Every structure is written in C-alpha cells, then in structure tokens.
Structure 1
Amino acid sequence: AHLNPAVSLSLCFLGRFPWTRLPFFVFSQVFGAFLAAATVALQYYDAIMHYSGGLLTVSGPRATAGIFSTYPAEHLSVWGGVVDQVIGTAALMVCVLALGDSRNVPAPPGLEPVLVGAVVLVIGVSMGSNSGYAINP
C-alpha cells in the first residue's frame, strides 16, 4: 500500500513501482492529506473555536496547532529531529516492505492493513515523544 510518499519512493528505488507514476502518487497523497485535514477542521470547527476561545495558537495552554501538525519537543535539536524521523520512517519502511515481500511467510489474507496499522501504532507509541507521529520525512 502506498501509505505516504516515503513508501512510494522506496518502491521506486526497489524497482517495484514505475518512476513515471511517482509524481502523481505523491501529489495524490499530499492532496488527500490536506483534504482530510480540511474535513477535520470543518467537522470540529465549533469545538476548536470553543476550546481555544477563538484564538488559534501554536503554543500555550490552549494551543490548537497540534491538531493538524506535529512539533518537536522543546529538548529536541534539529539534528535529533532528523535522526528521529529517519529512524521512524526506516522502521516503517522495513516493516511495510517485509509484509509485502512475497518471499516471506505471508500474512493471512486481509490482515495486511491491520498489521501495517499495528506497525504505525507501535512506532508512534515507542518513538512519538520527540515529535509525535510524524514518520513522513
């Protein structure tokens, strides 16, 4: 599954996806992400405005920017953030590619999406303290 641009790019490097289709997939993935964010913003607009008092901020006790993006922890340096994202994305890619490799023992039919979801959950829980669930460099 083409979860994000990192997956699509990796599949191109491995020769399992044509390079000519990569720009269209990346555009569609990014467009879909913005469309999903707009849908969430529309659906929860009243709740967000009520919570924030009408003042949308990035930090502070009523910060709302974290709903739509992730931010590094205060202790995290730029280099630490890069390392964090590379390791998290590499872990995601290794697991996704292993699940999709026909030379491995296959997962039961229909269980692949559940396993990928479990991988994302484990990565987020184990590595999310530095910058949240951002595993898309």
Structure 2
Amino acid sequence: MAEVSGANGNHGVTLNIKDGDMNHNPSRSASNTSDDDSAGSFLTVPFMQKLIAEVVGTYFVIFAGCAAVVVNLNKEKVVTEPGVSIVWGLVVMVMVYSVGHISGAHFNPAVTIAFATCRRFPWKQVPAYVLAQVVGSTLASGTLRLIFNGKHDQFAGTLPAGSDLQSFVLEFIITFYLMFVISGVATDNRAIGELAGLAVGATILLNVMFAGPISGASMNPARSLGPAIVSNHYKGIWIYLLAPISGAIAGAWIYNIIRFTNKPLREITKSGSFLKSSRRNGSN
C-alpha cells in the first residue's frame, strides 16, 4: 500500500560472478561453474545446493527487510525509514558473503535473467533459479504473515505512492543502477571482488533511502511477488515485474559495452567476447 512507501525498501538482490579462476575467487558465481553444472543437469548435487542456497538466501533477505517494514508500521515508526533502508542493505550484504560463493547470491530474478542475456549464466538454469527465489520470498512473507496477524497484519509488499508511470520509471532507473554496480564489482577482473557484497548492499541502501517513499524500491520481482501471493494483493504488480527486469538487462548490457578490452572491434564482434566471462586457462 502506498502508505507503506519507504518502508517497503528493496530487497535482495545479489552478487554474482567474477571473471577468472573460480577456485581463487570468493565472489565466484553460479555462472562460473564446472562443466557438469553448466550442462544444466537439475539432478546434480552441486546444482541442488545452489538452489537451496538461493531459497535460504532469498528467504532471509525478504524476512529481515519486510520484518523491518512491518515492525516500523506496527510500532509507531520505531525503526524509521532510514533504519529500514539500512536493514535492506545490511541483510543483502550479509547473505552475499554467506552464499555468494555457492550460488552467486542472486536472490533476484531480474539479476538472473540479466546475466543470462549477457551469457554469464546458462539460460537452462534460469527457470529453476527464478522459482527458488520466488519460493524463498513467498515462504518469508508467509512467515511474517503468521507472526504479525490479526490487527497487526500489515502488507509488506510494494505499491506506488504516486502514478504507475512514476513508479515504473523509478524502478527501472534504480534497478539499472543496481545491476550496473553488480556487473562492475562482481564480474570485472579489475574490481576488488572481496568488496562486492559491501558495494551491492550499499547500493540497495541508497536506492531504498530515496525511492522507498515513492515506489517501495523493489528492484526485485521476487521481493514484490512473495508478499503479493501471501496477501492476495496484486495491485500494480506488473510494475515490479517489468521495470526491474528491463532495468537490470539494460544495466548489465551498458556495463558490458563500456567494459575495457584491448581487442580489435572485428574480433569482438566476431567472437562476442564482450558478452562472455573470461576464463583463465590452467590447473585447478
């Protein structure tokens, strides 16, 4: 609901891949998996571990962030809107460092899809990842609904405070910003991979701080869809499905366009190397 506004803050979104040797990079993502994983088999233990990590990670991101929203509404703004922003940023940062080396810590269908469009994540694994993220968000929202029921029942989802167009444009911009940062700190060899979680969490905090009062600062289809499913409240849900996905795709592609390369244009366009993560040759 519009009155929840800023309290709705963003939610989880994610860390990803870092180009280079998987075994030496703590920020390694699901896209830089072994040959067995990239084959897309849904029966392998490593892939199931990735899905479990996405469910658990998304659960805690949504639980903590939406809990801050609900408590702030129920307890006379005791958390405050800046406090809600901090919770969203911190919980994403913590979960990125917790499971980023297992699943890539996407926690966000928009991020997963954006990486797939840039060939940094296998398309055949996208449906399973998206399902895991939505399941985690729905479970977290359901848990909060059970805890804060009756007169304390509050909608922790996202709703436009102004016009639909205003919220759509804002969601597109802040998700573009978020994905641009993720692409820079988590997929570029020159970035400091160990700081990726901090950078992503800080970006979410900033976005929620100024966009929360207007659109709820979703940036994540799963973050908005989970509470909507639990509360059967789908008003404006199309905004939070289309805007984050389109914004994330645009952000990922723009970063890939400006990514440094010393290869000639002819070679780049022929091989499509600017879309692919580089891989080091050598032993494990």
TM-score, scaled relative to structure 1: 0.76
Could you give the per-residue CA deviations for residues 50-82 of structure 1, whole angstroms, max 9, x where no partner exists? 44xxxx6xxxxxxx22x2x01111xx2222221
Could you give the per-residue CA deviations for residues 76-119 of structure 1, whole angstroms, max 9, x where no partner exists? 22222211111111111111111112333214x3x432322111
- Counterpart-to-counterpart distance in 2, 1:27 and 1:93: 20
Counterpart position of 1:106? 192
- Counterpart-to-counterpart distance in 2, 1:85 and 1:6: 12
Counterpart position of 2:182? 96
Q: Which has the higher helix share?
A: 2
Counterpart position of 2:112? 8
Amino acid at match of 2:124: T
RMSD: 1.7
How many residues in Structure 1 have an aligned counterpart in Structure 2?
117
Against the structure 1 CA distance between its residues 81 and 50, is the aligned structure 2 distance closer, same or farther, given a 3 Å change threshold?
closer
Mapped pair 1:18 → 2:122: yes
| Structure 2 residue runs without a partner (length 5+) | 1-104, 221-243, 245-284
Q: Percent sequence identity over matched residues?
A: 32
Amino acid at match of 2:110: A
Relative contact order: is structure 1 or structure 2 higher (C-alpha 8 Å, sep ≥ 6)?
2
TM-score, scaled relative to structure 2: 0.39
- Counterpart-to-counterpart distance in 2, 1:42 and 1:128: 25
| Structure 1 residue runs without a partner (length 5+) | 57-63
Counterpart position of 1:118? 202
Larger Rg: 2
Amino acid at match of 1:122: L
- Counterpart-to-counterpart distance in 2, 1:41 and 1:114: 30
Report if the CA contact (8 A) 2:159-2:215 is conserved.
yes
